Structure 1
Amino acid sequence: MKTATDNPITLSGKVDKVIFSNAENGYTVLQLLPLNKGEDKITVVGYFSESFSTQQVTFHGRWQEHPLHGKQFLALVCEQISPNLPVEKFLVEYIDGVGPSYAKKLMQKFGDDLTRILNEAPERLKEVPGVGEQRFKQIMTSWKQQRASHQIILFLTSHGLNFSQAAKVSKRYGHHTIEKIEENPYCLFEDIEGIGFQTADNLAIKLGFSPEDPRRLHGALIYLLQQATRDGHCGLQLEKLIYKGMQLLNVARDPLMLAVNVASEKEAMISDSVFGEPCVFLPLLWQQEQVIAQGLKRLMSVPLEIKQDALEKILNQIIEAEQLPLTTEQQTALMAALQAKVFVLTGGPGVGKTTLIKILMQFFTKQKMSLALAAPTGRAAKRISESTGHPAKTIHRLLEYDPITSSFTHHAKMPLPYDVVVVDESSMLDVPLCASIVQALPESSRLIFVGDIDQLSAVGPGDVLKSLIASEKIPFFSLKTIFRQAASSQIIVNAHRVNQGLMPQVDKNGIRDFFLIRAHPEEQQHKIIDIVANSLVQRFGFDPLNDIQVLSPMNAGPLGVDNLNIVLQQKLNPPEDYKTEMKHLGGVLRVDDKVIQIVNNYEKNIFNGDVGRIASIDLSLRKFFVVFDKHKVEYQFKEMEQLRLAYAISVHKSQGSEYPAVVVVLSMAQRIMLKRNLLYTAMTRGKSCVVVVGEPEAIFCAIKRGEVTKRVNKLEEWLRND
């Protein structure tokens, strides 16, 4: 994208229409009506923390020429001319005795003069109908207590933050807010959830920060490293970090290199290398990878006392009692697992991983060894518990997370009381969670990782399972042979075909548990709705809400999670007079809606990825209840941002889960996400039925793109180093 000019320009007008807005990062495209009548509408693009109505706005930025869309105004700073809004909202949120109706009455009566009236002539409030002596005293007592907060919120909203952001900042920093922000506004994106770097940077520009201010450079580098963790990296190559910084800030290379060096000296960042290539890391992740490597070496340094004959005797007794004829491959894997302090068992669907876990559990039980079975998510823990008959917990519950201290109860100084810990679905393990497990184990413990390295990597930073295997320092076994029973399932056979880079096959004469539905983009949405609401229900008797899960590679777009949820909600749970609704992210949530938790909530014991149904909504008390696996959880309205509709979810969110039926959406419009491991992961979520809906070229594209982005991390290297 070429920049026509870098000279700052001011542009004022009224917002005519918002063309596009990304709720996650604030990127917005809108049309502006200039104040000078007769001028054409102007396309404005930028990252904004606020929403827009038709009020007057002023943008500061520059013109640019987009290769496809032509001339645009790139807004770096936005000022909305709406002086009443923060005051009115402040009254409702902070002042006792003032609800929405009284706030409106006060604003209509006094307008912009209301703040002065409250401070200098408060008796005039009684001129508003309904404000008697009791309400007056209530308002004034509250105003005196909250006056400082009002000044802070006015300061923040006048510098580009919206009201809710300003309220969060004021609550976090208290009376020192203005002082702290003027000293370094870039603390906002690190400290305050919902405020990104662009918002902090816009505020800094308004405060007069120069483009090469060290605080700006440092903030940008931290932001870029944080963004890298969202892509699964523990750090970034130095050259890539510098390049991204130059692009983000429009500054030269040398100031950024200096900023990296200064931050490294202060240990705010770690300059290191990965197999010889200079890289930069966030300190905590760098330390956590060390914790994993050192912890695993610590466990393996304590030898096992193994009596081969006794071991084989007990194993044979278990196998005979359970009538489980094992292949030579499985027997080899079992013996390897039982002779290692740390072990990795990997393999695809239908190769017998769960069978081996059951036998291992029985072996350790016969040996009177205490053991724990865990998984990264609640659904994964429930699934392995049902499969093995042994109780399983999420890793967070195993380590006993304490929401008061924001830490785990079990750690190096208070280790877990188990001789053996088995972690299923280990491909989902990120670096922080794995570090927490490893350091909570005493030297005498055994640790067994079980997972499928061909699935999608963890959503969080790191590539733990692959790093353990690649290091060649951790004993592991990869199961390859598909069980005879599993070989009759088209789901399993086709999952393995996809994993090998082959197109799936549909056996029309055999067991029908796998379907390929070819559909062009314009008809895909209609076909998905018909499959979920009609075909799978009529043919197999599936419950569309409880049994069927739609999976899409992306959140955005016509066939993305967000849009599919809107149309599926309308079809599967339409509005009814008896179903209470509440506004949610531009749409609604209503009773009976299927929802997914998107953040960990330790106080409620509900975790990212847990799926439930809305049981009831109380509009008067502003609270609602969601049932998760027969467990009823109360939410306040202000907590509804923790939930999203779940008729459709992303493939990444489905990791560790299994559903009776899945409908997988693939489209060339989602090309950037189409990869073999994504399709493989999606297909292996289905237990009884998998339907892939998409363009033939999209399916082919996903299968042929077998390359996996190498995540920047040091775990493999540290494990290799003696």
Structure 2
Amino acid sequence: MSTVFHRWQDAAVLTAGDCFIATRIARRVGEPETSDATLALAFAIRAVREGSTALDLADPARWWDARDEDDSAGVVSTRDASRHGLTSDEVAPPSRGTSEVSKPGDPNDHGLPEIDAWWSAINSSVLVAQQVMRVEHGLLYLDRYWADERLIATSILDRAAASIPPVDASLVDQVIADSEQPLNDEQAEAVRSVANRAITILTGGPGMGKTFTIQTVVRALSQTPGFRVALAAPTGKAAARMNEALGSVLTPTSEIRPATTLHRLLGSRPDNSVRFRHNASDPLPHDLVIVDEASMVSLGMMARLLESLAPTTRLLLVGDPDQLAPVEAGWVLADLVRGLESSGNVVRLVHDYRMGDDRALLASAFRKGTPDGVLEAIDQAAAGETVRLIETEEPSLDLVPQVVEHALRLRDLALAGDQDAALDQLDRLRLLCAHRTGPFGTTQWNWLVERELAHHAPEIATQSMYVGRPILVTRNDHGLGLSNGDAGVIIRTDDGPVAAIATGSGPQRFSPWRLAEVETMHAMTVHKAQGSQADDVIVIVPPLDSKLLSRELLYTAVTRPQQRLTMIGTRESIAAAVDSPIKRSSGLEHRLAQSSGERQ
């Protein structure tokens, strides 16, 4: 491997995996492994790993801010490499051992080519000629992400300009007029937009009436005989919350089926995690598809959703673009909102129905993005009971005794075999961390809680599937019908312990030993908490030097509680987070804004 790769590895900018995959692909297509184009490929792979869909060569300063390895955003899987003929064995990188990490100061100190010469090398490379990499709008893409971005832009723009089969406007207006709770102007606009347009994007923060607007949309359009509506969300937990919130329109006599995950809606295939039964050749049979928590939808999943829609199918995307970006590459909802701002397809809800609530004021301060404003909101809330900051540089379990109390109550219900009460108890409290590892991570905090529980139940120290263990499904399991994000608890029954899991279609029971991809969730990451809420939420604020500290991270965390919020950390870390919005490179906003302007 080239010395320049080693320098960037030692600087903790590229990983061994980035370099290994890049050189293997280069070798396969005939590009010199030591070329500047191969170096660019390694950086493009890294960009996806960090959540971007493209590499912006003009912004190398962003490359310095490498995430902790255990918390990488996007994942460059064997799928990307296998498109170029690499096997899984070839993709596994060799270990170079440990080396002292030095953060780079000047790009040229580590062998970064001059920008114009670098672009020249890239454009004339075999990697571009063989379409391993794509160049467009001043960005460098891996082919897969370039194709998905183009597909999304084309589909969205076509829908924005499309004419669709009309519904009876008088019926829609009647539902709006007869609503028991009056709709504000933006909510009414959203309902009419869905009735009249092929694509509508509904945005707004917590407490702004997104769910009520969805209910009204469903009521209004289902007045048309035979009108078929599909409800979906990115995770099982988000789908379950959607069903709970929309209960009034999901009656036994309703033709509206309960919400499901996007994977289930599209028809996931056990043999292929990125291709689905429904696609352009076999589109979904619905007249309207509503996707909640759309901020969690990655570039790839959005592309698969759009290509599964018939030209006459309406699409309503609902979400909060200020929340964390998806775990995988892309920030599609935020790009769509910005790119379509002037098109009339985006409806922003701005009225906060919880205005005056300390949590609502704090969320508003985060959206405005001023550190002083956020800290002032925290201080103003100090006299109340809904928001609390425990200032410390060393968070510890004794600062939040309610965490152990919650775990003990959960265990008591599980020992009694009370499935419904145990699952309900899960949503009483959430302990959220930014990291998975380290003193501020979920692994540490789960261990701390289990250590305390072991004083009351020694078997917890020796049993993996102990009664009362809260579990989180971390990967879709097609055989069991489980989705990433489904949560449950191990309960005692006459036949032994079973896993009671709240799925999108209701509580289900499973043998604990059939669950291959689950983790303990006394504590969980903020990312995994997206799409769910709890009565009480405790947030472990990461330290100042955390690479995951961001405005979107804390905003997502502080908008999870329904009643009380406790933050443990320093004011300095909170201020730094507010001042550090996440940045991801993408060409989607540019494609939409440019083309939307040309079509108007």
TM-score, structure 2 as length reference = 0.73
**Matching residue of 1:291:** 151
Q: Structure 1 236/336 Cα, relative in aligned 2: closer, same or farther at 3 Å?
A: same
**Matching residue of 1:235:** 54
CA displacement at 1:719 relative to structure 2:
5.7
**Matching residue of 1:628:** 501
Question: Where in structure 2 are the equivalents of 1:299-448 lying within 5 Å?
Answer: 299-304=159-164, 306=166, 311-317=169-175, 319-320=177-178, 322-368=179-225, 369-389=227-247, 390=250, 391-406=258-273, 407-448=275-316
Q: Structure 1 573/243 Cα, relative in aligned 2: closer, same or farther at 3 Å?
A: closer
Is this contact kept in 2: 1:544–1:572, CA < 8 A? no
CA displacement at 1:655 relative to structure 2:
1.1
Q: Structure 1 628/255 Cα, relative in aligned 2: closer, same or farther at 3 Å?
A: same
Is this contact kept in 2: 1:580–1:590, CA < 8 A? no
Give the secondary structure class of the aligned counterpart of 2:139.
strand
Is this contact kept in 1: 2:165–2:312, CA < 8 A? no
**Matching residue of 2:90:** none
Of 124, 128, 136, 1:264 maps to: 128
**Which structure 2 segments of 5+ residues have no match?**
65-103, 251-257, 410-420
Is this contact kept in 2: 1:550–1:648, CA < 8 A? yes
**Matching residue of 1:56:** none
**Matching residue of 1:532:** 403
Q: Which moved further from structure 2: 691-700 or 383-392?
A: 691-700
Is this contact kept in 2: 1:403–1:602, CA < 8 A? yes
Q: Structure 1 666/612 Cα, relative in aligned 2: closer, same or farther at 3 Å?
A: same
Cα deviation 1:226-280 (Å, max 9, x = unaligned) = 332232211102456899799899767489974772201111111222xxxx321
Of 334, 346, 350, 1:466 maps to: 334
Asked if residue 196 in structure 1 is aligned to residue 196 in structure 2, the reply is no
User: How many Å separate the matches in 2 of 1:628 and 1:432?
Assistant: 28
Q: Structure 1 306/572 Cα, relative in aligned 2: closer, same or farther at 3 Å?
A: same
Of 7, 24, 32, 1:214 maps to: 32
Is this contact kept in 1: 2:153–2:588, CA < 8 A? no
CA displacement at 1:288 relative to structure 2:
0.7
**Matching residue of 1:225:** 44
**Matching residue of 1:559:** 440
Give the RMSD, CA atoms, in angstroms: 4.2
**Matching residue of 2:523:** 648
Q: Which one-letter code corresponds to 1:404 in the other structure?
A: D
CA displacement at 1:530 relative to structure 2:
1.8
Q: Which one-letter code corresponds to 2:213 in the other structure?
A: L
Q: Structure 1 403/281 Cα, relative in aligned 2: closer, same or farther at 3 Å?
A: same
CA displacement at 1:650 relative to structure 2:
1.6
Give the secondary structure class of the aligned counterpart of 1:571.
helix
Give the secondary structure class of the aligned counterpart of 1:236.
coil
**Which structure 1 segments of 5+ residues have no match?**
1-5, 7-45, 48-63, 67-73, 75-188, 190-194, 583-587, 618-623
Asked if residue 520 in structure 1 is aligned to residue 392 in structure 2, the reply is yes
Give the secondary structure class of the aligned counterpart of 2:208.
coil
The structure number with the bigger radius of gyration is 1
Aligned residues: 505
Q: Which one-letter code corresponds to 2:392 in the other structure?
A: H
**Matching residue of 1:22:** none
User: How many Å separate the matches in 2 of 1:695 and 1:197?
Assistant: 35
Q: Greater share of strand residues, 1 or 2? A: 1
User: How many Å separate the matches in 2 of 1:661 and 1:686?
Assistant: 5
CA displacement at 1:424 relative to structure 2:
0.8
Cα deviation 1:361-419 (Å, max 9, x = unaligned) = 01111112111111111111111111112311111110010113442110000000000
CA displacement at 1:470 relative to structure 2:
1.7
Is this contact kept in 2: 1:318–1:362, CA < 8 A? no
**Matching residue of 2:347:** 477
Q: Which one-letter code corresponds to 2:325 in the other structure?
A: S
Q: Structure 1 573/350 Cα, relative in aligned 2: closer, same or farther at 3 Å?
A: farther
**Matching residue of 1:702:** 577
Is this contact kept in 2: 1:596–1:645, CA < 8 A? yes
Q: Structure 1 718/515 Cα, relative in aligned 2: closer, same or farther at 3 Å?
A: closer
User: How many Å separate the matches in 1 of 2:348 and 2:55?
Assistant: 31
User: How many Å separate the matches in 2 of 1:359 and 1:603?
Assistant: 35
CA displacement at 1:581 relative to structure 2:
3.8
Q: Which has the higher contact order (CA 8 A, sep 6+)?
A: 2
User: How many Å separate the matches in 1 of 2:184 and 2:238?
Assistant: 26
Give the secondary structure class of the aligned counterpart of 1:551.
strand
Q: Structure 1 601/197 Cα, relative in aligned 2: closer, same or farther at 3 Å?
A: farther
Cα deviation 1:81-108 (Å, max 9, x = unaligned) = xxxxxxxxxxxxxxxxxxxxxxxxxxxx
Give the secondary structure class of the aligned counterpart of 1:344.
strand
Q: Which one-letter code corresponds to 1:302 in the other structure?
A: A
Give the secondary structure class of the aligned counterpart of 2:189.
helix
Q: Structure 1 574/458 Cα, relative in aligned 2: closer, same or farther at 3 Å?
A: farther
Of 581, 588, 596, 1:714 maps to: 588
TM-score, structure 1 as length reference = 0.61
User: How many Å separate the matches in 2 of 1:216 and 1:633?
Assistant: 52
Q: Which one-letter code corresponds to 2:241 in the other structure?
A: R
User: How many Å separate the matches in 1 of 2:190 and 2:122?
Assistant: 50
Is this contact kept in 1: 2:446–2:521, CA < 8 A? yes
Is this contact kept in 2: 1:545–1:647, CA < 8 A? no
User: How many Å separate the matches in 1 of 2:457 and 2:217?
Assistant: 52
Give the secondary structure class of the aligned counterpart of 1:271.
strand
Is this contact kept in 1: 2:450–2:460, CA < 8 A? no
Q: Structure 1 373/546 Cα, relative in aligned 2: closer, same or farther at 3 Å?
A: closer
Q: Which one-letter code corresponds to 1:267 in the other structure?
A: Q
CA displacement at 1:598 relative to structure 2:
2.9
Q: Which moved further from structure 2: 657-666 or 409-418?
A: 657-666
Q: Which one-letter code corresponds to 2:313 in the other structure?
A: S
Question: Where in structure 2 are the equivalents of 1:142-153 lying within 5 Å?
Answer: none
Q: Structure 1 244/257 Cα, relative in aligned 2: closer, same or farther at 3 Å?
A: farther
Give the secondary structure class of the aligned counterpart of 1:372.
strand
Is this contact kept in 2: 1:525–1:559, CA < 8 A? no
CA displacement at 1:203 relative to structure 2:
12
Is this contact kept in 2: 1:230–1:459, CA < 8 A? no
Q: Which one-letter code corresponds to 2:562 in the other structure?
A: K
User: How many Å separate the matches in 1 of 2:229 and 2:460?
Assistant: 46
User: How many Å separate the matches in 2 of 1:311 and 1:256?
Assistant: 54
Percent of pairs identical after alignment? 24
Is this contact kept in 1: 2:134–2:143, CA < 8 A? yes
CA displacement at 1:667 relative to structure 2:
4.1
Is this contact kept in 1: 2:437–2:444, CA < 8 A? yes
Q: Structure 1 553/244 Cα, relative in aligned 2: closer, same or farther at 3 Å?
A: closer
Give the secondary structure class of the aligned counterpart of 1:362.
helix
